Amino acid sequence: METIISVKNLVNRFGSQVVHDGLSLDIRRDEILGVVGGSGSGKSVLMRSILGLQRPTSGTITVMGQKIEYHKPGPSRCWGVLFQAGALLSDLTVQQNVELPIALYSNMPLETRHELASLKLLMTGLSLTVADKFPSELSGGMRKRVALARALALEPKILFLDEPTAGLDPIAATEFENLITYLHDNLDLTIMMITHDVDSLFGICDRIAVLVDGGVVVGTLDEVLDSDHPWIRKYFGVPRALRARQAGGRP
């Protein structure tokens, strides 16, 4: 399988606190990789390092063959990011938020730009009645959908999702998961997803990366479940995880 993101010997240290200690991780093309870990295990730091938003203490990261350097322009055409709280620009309307990256990267006619942005909103299950609203006028779930539409605006190959279902009610969370699977199946997307939602872990992830002890245990669900690391056993042993496991993956 082709490796699309490769993290080698990543070390992240904040003062005396070691977050990553020689972490290596490969993300393969067309997979959905779920990233889990306890608080402070460095899930977000890993994602921010890959995105070039954080200067790692040492280690190399390559995304689609391009080396990532801190605050240097990365392959921003190839990736879309859904931040945890959406990170929509608050002084632009929903439509303008989605149009902004399109306008920056293409000189297509204005009308096509409007239509493409509307299309992305529709694809994420939004009605165009929200197009002229401001992010502050939307509910949390809608904001996430708009943020996803923005992340998809440039036809990315890789999608980073930071807790996509956090703060959503079970119905909305399930819909959002279905949406992600649907997009993944239809758009040849590689997805890296930080999540604490065991349902999404069991339901939609191809592989799971568990961040423990500054490193990572990565594998398919069964492989990770077989791990005898105490934290992993505990994580997948809590009642809600067991229930999700029994429920199995959604089709």
> Which residues contribute to the site for other proteins (CB under 8 A)?
90-91, 93, 95, 105-109, 112, 114-116, 118-120, 122-123, 127-129, 131-132, 134-137, 152, 154-155, 186-187
Q: How far is the CB of 14 from other proteins (least distance, A)?
A: 24
Q: How far is the CB of 171 from other proteins (least distance, A)?
A: 20
**9 or 106, CB closer to other proteins?**
106
**88 or 216, CB closer to other proteins?**
88
Residue 233, phi then psi, degrees to nearest 5: -60, -40
Q: How far is the CB of 99 from other proteins (least distance, A)?
A: 9
Q: How far is the CB of 83 from other proteins (least distance, A)?
A: 15
Cα gap 178→156, rounded to integer Å: 19
**108 or 242, CB closer to other proteins?**
108
**51 or 187, CB closer to other proteins?**
187
89 token code pair: 């620009």
Q: How far is the CB of 78 from other proteins (least distance, A)?
A: 11
**108 or 247, CB closer to other proteins?**
108
Cα gap 181→171, rounded to integer Å: 15
Q: How far is the CB of 152 from other proteins (least distance, A)?
A: 8
58-63/66-67 β-pairing: antiparallel
**154 or 218, CB closer to other proteins?**
154
**120 or 207, CB closer to other proteins?**
120
**SS in 3 state form for the chain?**
CCEEEEEEEEEEEECCEEEEEEEEEEEECCCEEEEEECCCCCHHHHHHHHCCCCCCCEEEEEECCEECCCCCCCCCCCEEEECCCCCCCCCCCHHHHHHHHHHHHCCCCHHHHHHHHHHHHHHCCCCHHHCCCCHHHCCHHHHHHHHHHHHCCCCCCEEEEECCCCCCCHHHHHHHHHHHHHHHHHHCCEEEEECCCHHHHHHHCCEEEEEECCEEEEECHHHHHHCCCHHHHHHHHCHHHHHHHHHCCCC
Q: How far is the CB of 148 from other proteins (least distance, A)?
A: 14
